[in-house]
Amino acid sequence: ASDVSAAKQRLIEAVDRLQARLDRDKGQGDNWRKYLRLDELAAELKKPAGPSLETLGAVYAKFAAGHEGLKLACFVEVRRALRQFIVRSRAVDDASLPEKLGQALDELPPLIQAYRESHDPAVAGRIQAVLEWLDLMDRGRQVVATVEREFGQSNLFVEVSADLLAKGFTKPVDTTEPVREIILGTDVRGTGHIVGRRTLRLLPASDRAELAIEVTGSIAADTVGYNGPARIYSQGDTPFTARKVVRISAAGVEILPADADARTRTKIQDVDVTCRGNCVEKIAWKRTFKQKPAAEWEASRRAEFRLNRRIDREADERLNELRTAFEERFRRPLLDRDLFPEVLDFRTDEQALRVEARRGGPFALAAAGEPPAPPAGDLTVRLHQTFFNNMAEGALAGMFLREERFREIVTDLLGRLPPELESEDSEPWAVQFPPARPITVRFDDGRAVVQFRGEAYEKGDRRYAAMDVTAAYRLERRDAGFVLLREAEPTAFPPDFDPQKDHLSVSQQTLRRLLERRFGKIFRPEIALEPVELEGDWAAAGPLTVASIQMDDGWLAIGLRAAPSDAVAMP
């Protein structure tokens, strides 16, 4: 009973947090409350005799209806807590629970061994289902922890070389600005010519990425100082270095103020006085040279101030765009949808910016062991199939997705709709994804196998049952680069269908033809890994070409090189 009470308390707390979240959006919040029957759920949880499991089951069906908005973390938390409470409550009177527990524990070892050997996402999904059931029953905690330790390693590694990053920032600096300062009571006017070079340097940091925009150069100033009757004509040379540091971590992007260091040295060309008399002019010369060290120190500080202001003004607009994009297009959307990686570490050394991440999800497997060695390249990615599969499950599992919305999502992500996703059909389609493994990929032995799973499909006013579409590609090296070749036409079959024994119904045959024709266009016969064209300031680095690629043991390792090279590695 204690596990049921604990589950109920978690559910009550999750509902309270959801209610508070909906209170912040009165219009939509009230609509969600009505649709999800939240008031009814809250009332059931307060009943002294306990809630009606039938009513809670009906409420759960609302939370699991597949609407895109229900993927927000606040809804997901309640759905999971509600399911846990319902399952545990029903198990109280289940006399067969010990037998089921034994079967689950006996099933795990062969499943784990099979997954070690095959890297099959379907086997991983079965392991995940067993672990989730054990947790729902509040049993087998040690077993769950053991499995999570083995299959809980980071499953994404990205490295960007310092040279590639610097190419987006390196540029000459050559500008002229007016000088108007009051230095030790002297009104200094003239022009300053700034000549230098801007570049990017990586600073060693183990708990975040630190990037320093550095500007080195000198300011040549030609000025006249006005102090009473004296006119002081001088030329100044101010070598300087300036640095603006940007810190990147899972928490966001931090932009520090610029920090310049300048040393002004002046050469007095002439001192003139408006009144007559050698005595006055000698006094002016003497006073000018006496104050020269202090004036140079003050001029250095003023130069630092101007440099800091200029660098902040020029860099902050661009860096603020980076910070906003990181927060609004990456961090916040993933947090809102409970998709943010459990581990996201940034670090830098003098050679590269490195990112390490782990995306699992509730009881989902991540990588086991160390990743393959980094491939050669200026930009390298080592992606374990579980990172993609777990992200896809978190984003799409159980969702009902219409064609129009799918196109909007792809266009938003890519900035355009690929031609192969344009539909020639007059009737729109829709898919209901299953609650697990909606889209999976498997990397092994130089091959990539992609599977798209639909629990139900709609086309026009017709509805079809579950069907899985599978396509396999193999990697091939050609003179022009790497190519993914489709091994055969995509196949569409119902889940667990055996073509040697089972037969398709008329409806299934119709859906199969529709899916194979449609996915035959999406999964093209040949996919050339074209160079990646860089934009903006990074265009000077030229296109990034695929220098090496490997698909094995669940890992995709790809290296992109900024400059063409004959030393292209083949897996």
* 503 φ, ψ (degrees, to nearest 5): -130, 145
With H, G, I as helix, E, B as strand and everything else as coil, classify residue 487: coil
Per-residue pLDDT tens digits for 505-515: 999 999 999 99
Least confident range of 280-284, 356-360, 387-391, 424-428 = 280-284
Report the distance separating Cα 188 and Cα 208, nearest Å.
44
pLDDT of 203 over the 60 cut:
yes
Report the distance separating Cα 161 and Cα 179, nearest Å.
39
Convert 367-378 into a string of H (helix), E (strand) and C (coil): ECCCCCCCCCCC
Per-residue pLDDT tens digits for 2-61: 789 999 999 999 999 999 999 998 778 999 999 999 999 999 999 998 999 999 999 999
Share above pLDDT 90 across residues of the chain, in percent, rounded to a whole number: 71
Residue in this structure with the two tokens 């109920």, named with its chain if needed: 8
- Tokens for 145, please give them: 């922890």
Phi-psi region of 338 (alpha: psi -120 to 50; beta: other; left: phi over 0): left
* 164 φ, ψ (degrees, to nearest 5): -65, -45
- Tokens for 11, please give them: 């559910």
In the structure, what pLDDT confidence band is assigned to residue 280 with cuts at 50, 70 and 90?
A: low
Q: For residue 428, what pLDDT is reported?
A: 85
Share above pLDDT 70 across residues of the chain, in percent, rounded to a whole number: 96
Q: For residue 89, what pLDDT is reported?
A: 92
In the structure, what pLDDT confidence band is assigned to residue 571 with cuts at 50, 70 and 90?
A: very low
Q: For residue 284, what pLDDT is reported?
A: 66
pLDDT of 564 over the 60 cut:
no
Report the distance separating Cα 489 and Cα 38, nearest Å.
47
In the structure, what pLDDT confidence band is assigned to residue 164 with cuts at 50, 70 and 90?
A: very high
Tell me, what DSSP letter sits at residue 50?
Answer: -
pLDDT of 285 over the 80 cut:
no
Q: For residue 278, what pLDDT is reported?
A: 63
Across the range 203-212, mean pLDDT stands at 97
Tell me, what DSSP letter sits at residue 153?
Answer: B
Per-residue pLDDT tens digits for 293-340: 888 898 899 899 999 999 999 898 889 999 999 999 999 999 999 999
Across the range 487-499, mean pLDDT stands at 94
Q: For residue 565, what pLDDT is reported?
A: 35
pLDDT of 568 over the 60 cut:
no
Across the range 530-555, mean pLDDT stands at 89
Beta bridge partners of 238: 219
Beta-carbon count within 10 A of 432 CB: 18
Q: For residue 27, what pLDDT is reported?
A: 79
Pair 191, 176: CB distance under 8 Å: yes
- Tokens for 195, please give them: 């000549």
Q: For residue 318, what pLDDT is reported?
A: 87
In the structure, what pLDDT confidence band is assigned to residue 570 with cuts at 50, 70 and 90?
A: very low
Per-residue pLDDT tens digits for 421-459: 777 677 889 999 999 999 999 999 999 999 999 999 999
Q: For residue 488, what pLDDT is reported?
A: 95
Beta bridge partners of 205: 348
Q: For residue 272, what pLDDT is reported?
A: 80
